[in-house]
Chain A
Amino acid sequence: MPSFRMSRRQAIRVGTVGLLGGLSLPRLLQFQAQAAGAKGAKAKSCIFLFLEGGPSTIDMWDMKPDAAAEVRGPYKPVKTNVNGTFICEHLPNCAKIADKYTILRNHSHNDNGHTTGYHYVMTGVKADFADGTNSRKPNNVLYPSIGSVVSKELGHTDTLPPYINLPHPLTAGGPGFHGAEHAPFVIEGDPVSPDFEVRDLVPVEGIDSKRQDRRKRLLSGLDTPASSAAAPTGKAGTMATYYEKAHDLMTSAAARKAFDIKSEPAKLREAYGHTTLGQCALLSRRLVEAGCRFVGTDHSGWDTHFTCFPSLEKDLIPSVDKAFSALVTDLADRGLLDSTLVVMMGEMGRTPKVNAQAGRDHWSMTQSVLFAGGGIKPGLVIGATDKNSVAPLADPVSVEDILCTLFHQMGIDSTKIYNTPLGRPVPIVNGGRVLTDLVG
């Protein structure tokens, strides 16, 4: 059941049928949770494109043609299909559909580190570790990431995991205290590569369903709660949870179909761009169609300290141009844009002034963030930065504000309190406001 959302009333009706047989109780509870969670929601799903390293949005969405040469950089702004909105000349496809998304130019925060900034954006909580010390592993051991919160609040729709990472784990995309159950399912593999597949989803030939059932029964004879290795704590406990998730995934034909990006027409694949970001965006759409709630794509390479303009112009900006424009257009064509919120940002922007190595350094004080679909007002430019994009002119939008707005669109109350394992109450988002300019 693609694009399926239940009202409370529907859920209750289904529940009655379920009690008569057909729907199991857990399934019923799940539908009820869904109906409750979806209350007031505009967006069923979110596609989060994370431009890791810090995108140079001053060269993309917030150009300063009147600034000095060392600030404005080599690119020229061009008109878009929205009167008065100008973006970089290297974003021609995005320029044609500026009426379908909104540029927020007054995002600003003060964490200028990569891993700490990533943690801040993904969790809404300032990192308690020094920048760079936790770069190898998902580093939010305590606080859950956006996707894990979505997983916790909205749960599964169909058989796909509610929270998926592409094409590798998001550094700060872990579940924190929500635990393994809400960790991302990571599709490790680059969908642009010809031999891309989600591995090991089905047993080898010859193991029929009868034997699969028997194997599962036998396994349950060993992994008993009484066995200390399967205790719900520690890594073995986490592993037990992952086994359950893996089983869910294996038994779903819809899931396997969703992963099959090769079934997309070549023309559409080309429109998204033959890049990792492009094909991740396309795969994200397929996953969202199949019921995934939150797809996080990590696109690295944006930490352009040195000689930034050649790579921005030839590689980075064009990949965004195609991926973002094709995704928004494709979602709109399929009637999915209203129910799918697309957010594109990184952990920071880049310094207004081009440095001595012809690059731009970290600048979390300003970054433009893109929003599309999911009930946001399209075709706008919200906020502005000063003449050199050093700081927002007024009314800076914080990480917390962005998360609040994202959760609001998905029908999640961001003031809801959770207790950490030690019983410390923490809200889903600490403060923040819903950006009324953006969502109306």
Chain B
Amino acid sequence: MTKPTVALLLTLLFGSAPAHAAVRVTPTAVTLDSPEASQQLLVTLDTADGTRTAKYEVANPAIAAVDASGRITPKGEGKTEVVVKHGTDTVRVSVEVTGLKSPRPVSFEQEVIPILTKASCNSGGCHGKAEGQGGLKLSVFGFDPAADFQALVTEGRGRRVFPAAPQNSLFLLKAAGRTPHGGGKKIDQDGHRYQRLLRWIQEGTQFATAKAPAVTALEVEPTQKTLALNGTQQLRVTAIYADGTRRCVTAESEYDSNAATIAGADGRGLVSAGDKPGEAAILVRYMGNVTVCRITLPRPGVKFPRPAEANFVDKHVWDKLERLGIPPSDLADDATFMRRVFLDTIGTLPTAAEASAFLADAAPNKREKLIDALLARPEYADLWALKWSDILKVDKDAVTPQGAVAMTRWVRRQIAENRPYDQFVRDIVTARGSTAADGPAAIYKSLSTPEIAARSMSQVFLGVRIECAQCHHHPSEKWAQDDYWALAGMFSGVNRKPLPGGAEAVVWTVGADLGPVPKGKAKPKKGVTPIPVNGVPAAPLGAEPKEFAPSDDRRKVLADWMTAPDNPYFATAIANRLWAHYLGRGLVEPIDDIRATNPASNEPLLAALTAHLRERKYDLRALTKTILMSRTYQLSSTAKDGNATDEQNFSHASVKPMAAEVLLDSVSQLTGAPEKFNGWPEGYRAIQVWDNRMPSYFFRIFGRPVRYSVCECERGTDPSIAQALHLMNSPEIAAKVQARSGAARKLADSDKKPAAIVDDLFLAALSRRPTDAERAKFLEAFTDGDRRAAVEDVMWAILNSKEFLYNR
């Protein structure tokens, strides 16, 4: 029953809406049809949840009981009423209890599995892990009920269930902690879960019962709620079965928060908010079905003037900030904007000349002009080729140096030519030909099996982490093992043939349907695709399988499906990735884990960016410009009263660490001492180096990824004392600062006045001029007459400042 219907019904019952705050109780009629059934009532006040503040009484305690949290449980067959009092309001709920004398038999599949899941018996850390625990192996999260039934009822020499004396079944003794159990006591012997397990054994351990159809959907009430800080909300979860029946499973469901510090939920579905404003999604799980309740905690009583909108991005961001009561920061000044947009788009520091020209430019559209100019610069392609090489696993050791060069060059050209993203990805997915020729074919050396290709491409291009479905149903998504193997089958014909000269040719030979290794077979060797007994018909994620001739390159069908206008993942994934690059945080985080149960922090914005990208025919530069032109991107990173703790709503710019390569280039540029990479011609910048294995202490401590995974998270961004020591003391940095032909020496040997030198260095490093106080302080360095030392020390200090080391 939907809430408006209930409200209407109440209105009818009471004649007219009461003048004071209405108390709504749902449902108004309860039927409990088994000994362990229960029904959670929800008491809704005008704005708050009254479930835990209401008083409950049952008219006939012989028929039903109700606890302080509003949960009704059966006691005896018959009818009675629960009287709900809140303040001066009284609402009566009719209760009918049936099925106690001859209860519907317990279904293992429908009723025992959820108990095992809720008690985490089948979690990945316990009996659910691949090798089981203590000899008992259950399918993780109970996704294979038949196997679990087998494990409990027939394996273990039949000791696990003992129908002759059900309460002495090892299964119950262990679960209730009456016999030593590694996991300890998991189930309360007086609770309804234990009673249900006991009854299941008493009834002869039935697997499925005729009367228990499958759960087809899960409903949570409320689906979203705005709470006050430290507020609470009782949830109600209803399972909907194939035959249309609905059963309250609030106590049986599991609850997880994606932001436990904002709001969490206990095992009874009571959501408790913390004292920090923000948003949380409560993930509700029952029998392989998942649903989400969103909790919003606004800052109380905050009003702020809505800044002008530069484009649709700002509209969605301001909407969200208004709802949460978080004011946006001011617009960043020209110098800050300039340095940020340089580092973000081209991974390169503005020179002193570029900085002073931009600061002096009086044109009202100078920011737009700068954005356009930067997106056309060659370093833009360098930076994004580096980034794509990371996530496409262009690891020299895996793809050979020739392959790494070939791929890096190809990617760089696609970016430089602004190739539409859908075509770019199609070329990668369907790559064939020489791994050493200019092209993406070498990727199939790195993604060397159909499974690795399937899960890597899924994560990179669709933002779907399908990996866990290789062995079991995805714990928080609809993906089953079949989906994983169907996708892997799309890559099944990819093979590599040796070419003269050591390279290989990627070819499509014969496609096949793949599937998991049958149970009981030894694990295959790493890198060898097992031959399944029953392959799953190949198909893109969640799509209908097609008929393929063996010679059909199935990847073409996959690429068609990925880039089709109605693909739900493809455009969203890249929009989110670009957003995360420029704003420092994805709308969905982690950026490549997009799913219903991990909602975006601003879903309308992500949808709008996605639609915009499709409208612009996958023109990444156009989408980038839209993001960069938004006021949101151009906000200051300086927090304002009320937005300092905001981390996910883009109320202020984030201070971003620089990638190791970008930082090294920045240091080289500032000091005027280019880095000489071993074995490379002079003049190459770090962001142009395709050799990810080139030994470098600098790259290691500043977190260069080894390109082991397709996750951007592989790039380390955490600071360390080692970084500080290296920047302050290392001979490598000192050599740059003191270089004979370096910037410091040139300035010292010039006839510039000290003040001009300080100004030049500030512009070169920070894209701004010093304040008067800063200039005065830095001029002190020149008092002892040694100009060279003075300039070096000024440069050293600026280089070690946090303003230089971070992109703010």
Given known pairs A116-B125, A128-B260, the reply for A204 and B734 (CB within 8 Å) is yes
Bound Cα distance from A243 to B655, whole angstroms: 17
The answer, yes or no, to whether B308 is at the interface (CB within 8 Å) is no
Q: Does A219 contact B (CB under 8 A)?
A: yes
Tell me which residues from 178 to 199 in chain A have a Cβ below 8 Å from any Cβ of chain B: 180, 185-186, 188, 199
Min C-beta distance of B701 to chain A, whole Å: 8
With A110-B184, A214-B793, A218-B794: A201-B725 Cβ-Cβ less than 8 Å:
yes
A380: interface (CB < 8 Å) = no
Enumerate chain B residues within 8 angstroms of A239, measured Cβ to Cβ: 719, 723-724, 802, 805-806
Is the Cβ of B721 less than 8 Å from the Cβ of A222?
no
Question: Contacts A112-B125, A200-B730, A229-B803: A218 and B793 contacting too (C-beta < 8 A)?
Answer: yes
B700 to chain A, nearest CB (A): 8
Which of B385-393, B533-541, B632-640 is near enough to bind chain A?
B632-640
Is A217 on the interface with B (CB-CB < 8 A)? Answer: yes
Determine if B124 is an interface residue (Cβ-Cβ < 8 Å).
Answer: yes
Residues on A with C-beta less than 8 A from B731 are 204
What's the nearest-Cβ distance from chain A to residue B178, in Å? Answer: 15
Chain B residues with Cβ under 8 A from A70's Cβ? none
CB–CB A186/B808 < 8 A: no
- Interface flags, B698-726, vs A, CB<8A=1, else 0: 00010000000000011011111111111
Is A85 close to B, CB under 8 A? no
- Are A391 and B802 CB-contacts (below 8 A) given A110-B126, A204-B731? no
Rounded to whole Å, the gap between the CB of B682 and the closest CB of chain A is: 24
For B789, what are the chain A residues with a Cβ–Cβ distance below 8 Å?
211
Contacting residues, chain B, for A307 (C-beta < 8 A): none
Residue among A137, A199, A230 making CB contact with B730, cutoff 8 Å: A199
Q: A137 and B719 in contact (CB under 8 A), knowing A422-B275, A422-B276? A: no
- Asked if A112 and B793 make an inter-chain contact with CB atoms under 8 angstroms apart, the answer reads no
Q: A243 contacts B697, CB within 8 Å?
A: no
Q: Would A111 and B803 be within 8 Å (CB), given that A204-B734, A231-B639, A242-B721 are in contact?
A: no
Docked-complex contact B802 and A240, CB < 8 angstroms: yes
B491 on interface, CB distance cutoff 8 Å: no
For residue A221, CB closer than 8 A to chain B, the reply is yes
Q: Are A200 and B728 in contact (CB under 8 A)?
A: yes
A186 touches B720 (CB 8 A): yes
Among B183, B734, B802, point to the contact of A110 (Cβ < 8 A). Answer: B183
Evaluate contact between A227 and B803: CB separation under 8 angstroms: yes
| A136 contacts chain B at the CB level, 8 A cutoff | yes
Residues of B contacting A365 with CB < 8 Å? Answer: 134, 182
List chain B residues, Cβ under 8 A from A238.
Answer: 718-719
Residues of A with C-beta under 8 A to B718? 137-138, 235, 238
B133 in the interface, Cβ–Cβ < 8 Å?
A: yes
Q: Is the CB of B724 within 8 A of A235?
A: no
Chain B, interface residues (CB within 8 Å), range: 35 or more
Question: Is B726 within 8 A of A199, CB to CB?
Answer: yes
- Expressed in whole angstroms, the Cα–Cα distance for A64 and B91 within the complex equals 67
CB distance from B117 to the nearest CB of A (A): 15
Name A174's closest neighbour in chain B (CB-CB).
B718
* Separation of A111 and B183 alpha carbons in the complex (Å): 9
Beta-carbon contact of B725 and A249 below 8 Å: yes
CA distance A121 to B721 in the complex (A): 25
Chain B residues closer than 8 Å to A227, beta-carbon distance? 802-803
Chain A residue with minimal CB distance to B726? A200
A131 touches B (CB below 8 Å): yes
Whether A250 contacts B725 in the complex (CB less than 8 A), given A218-B793, A243-B800, comes out as yes
Complex contacts, B93 vs chain A, CB 8 Å: none
The answer to whether B184 touches A200 (Cβ under 8 A) is no
Closest to B329 in A: A228
> Which residues of B have CB within 8 Å of A391?
180, 182
Complex CA–CA separation, A201 to B724 (angstroms): 10
Is A130 in the interface zone, CB < 8 Å from B? Answer: yes
Q: Is B729 close to A, CB under 8 A?
A: yes
CB-defined contacts of A211 to chain B, threshold 8 Å = 789, 793
Point out the residues of chain B lying under 8 angstroms from A108, CB to CB.
Answer: 182
State whether A245 and B734 are in contact (beta carbons under 8 Å apart), knowing that A112-B126, A200-B726 are contacts in the complex: no
Find the residue from B129, B636, B800 having the highest chain A CB count within 10 A: B800
Chain A 95-129, CB within 8 Å of chain B: the 1/0 string?
00000000000001011110010000000000010
CA distance A138 to B719 in the complex (A): 12
Interface status of A68 (Cβ within 8 A of chain B): no
Number of A-B contacts (CB under 8 A): 171
Q: In whole Å, how far is B760's beta carbon from the nearest beta carbon of chain A?
A: 15
Neighbouring A residues of B655 by C-beta, 8 Å: 228-229, 231, 234-236
Asked if B778 is at the interface (CB within 8 A of a chain A CB), the reply is yes
Task: List, in ascending order, chain B residues with CB within 8 A of A252's CB.
Answer: none
Q: Taking the complex as formed, is B354 at the interface, i.e. its CB lies under 8 A from any CB of chain A?
A: no
A215 to B655, CA, bound (A): 25
A130, A246, A365: residue with the most chain B Cβ atoms closer than 10 Å: A246
Complex CA distance for A239 and B275, rounded to whole angstroms: 28
A199 to B722, Cβ gap below 8 A? yes
Question: Complex Cα distance A229/B343, Å?
Answer: 15
A207 within 8 A of B: yes
In this assembly, does A202 line the interface, its C-beta being within 8 Å of a C-beta of chain B? yes
- Residues in B with CB closer than 8 Å to A111 are 125
B39 on interface, CB distance cutoff 8 Å:
no
As a 0/1 sequence over residues 309 to 345 of chain B, the CB contacts with chain A under 8 angstroms (1 = contact) are: 0000000000000000000000000000000000000
* A interface footprint on B760-790 (CB within 8 Å = 1, 0 otherwise): 0000000000000110011011000000010
* A229 pairs with B802, CB closer than 8 A: yes
Across the interface, B721 reaches (CB within 8 A) one of A185, A217, A421, A423, namely A185
B729 and A204 form a contact (CB under 8 A): yes
- Determine the chain A residues whose CB is within 8 A of the CB of B124 once the complex forms: 113, 130-131
Q: In the complex, which of the residues B125, B276, B636, B730 contacts A131, with contact meaning CB atoms closer than 8 Å?
A: B125
Interface flags for B110-146 (1: CB within 8 Å of A; 0: not) read: 0000000000000011100101011000000000000
A211 to B793, CA, bound (A): 7
**Is B644 an interface residue when CB atoms closer than 8 A count as contact?**
yes
User: How far apart are the CA atoms of A412 and B721 in the complex, in Å?
Assistant: 26
Given A201-B725, A207-B734, A243-B724: A112 touches B800 (CB 8 Å cut-off)? no
Q: Is the CB of B801 within 8 A of A223?
A: yes
Tell me the complex Cα distance, A239–B802, Å. Answer: 7
Chain B nearest CB from A371 CB (Å) reads 24
Bound together, the chains give a CA A252 to CA B734 distance in angstroms of: 21
Q: Looking at the complex, which one of B131, B734, B793, B805 makes contact with A236 (CB distance below 8 Å)? A: B805
Give the complex CA separation of A250 and B129 in angstroms.
Answer: 48
* Contact yes or no, A236 B802, CB < 8 A: yes
Q: A361 in the interface, Cβ–Cβ < 8 Å?
A: yes
- B401 in the interface (beta carbon within 8 A): no
Asked if A201 contacts B729 (CB within 8 A), the reply is: yes
Q: Is the CB of B728 within 8 A of A222?
A: no
With a CB–CB cut-off of 8 A, which chain A residues contact B274?
Answer: 422-424
Residue of A with least CB distance to B638: A228
Answer yes or no: A203 CB below 8 A from chain B CBs.
Answer: yes
Residue B62 at the chain A interface, CB threshold 8 Å: no
Knowing A137-B716, A200-B730, the reply to whether A215 touches B793 (Cβ < 8 A) is yes
Tell me if A415 counts as interface (CB < 8 A to partner B): no
In the complex, per-residue mask of A361-393: 1 if CB is within 8 Å of any chain B CB, else 0? 100010000000000000000000000001100
The smallest beta-carbon distance between A20 and chain B, in angstroms, is 33
Q: Does A218 contact B797, Cβ atoms closer than 8 Å?
A: yes
Q: B697 to A112, Cβ gap below 8 A? A: no
Residues of B within 8 A of A245 (CB): 721, 724
Known A-B contacts: A218-B796, A222-B798. Give 5 more (CB < 8 A): A231-B655, A234-B654, A239-B805, A243-B800, A245-B721
* 5 interchain residue pairs of minimum CB distance: A218-B797, A221-B777, A246-B724, A200-B725, A222-B801
Please name 10 pairs of A and B residues whose Cβ atoms are closer than 8 Å in the assembled complex, sorted by A. A185-B721, A200-B725, A211-B793, A214-B793, A235-B657, A236-B657, A239-B806, A242-B724, A250-B728, A423-B275
B interface vs A, CB < 8 Å? 124-126, 129, 131, 133-134, 180, 182-184, 260-261, 274-276, 636-639, 644, 654-655, 657, 697, 701, 713-714, 716-726, 728-731, 734, 738, 773-774, 777-778, 780-781, 789, 793-794, 796-798, 800-803, 805-806, 808
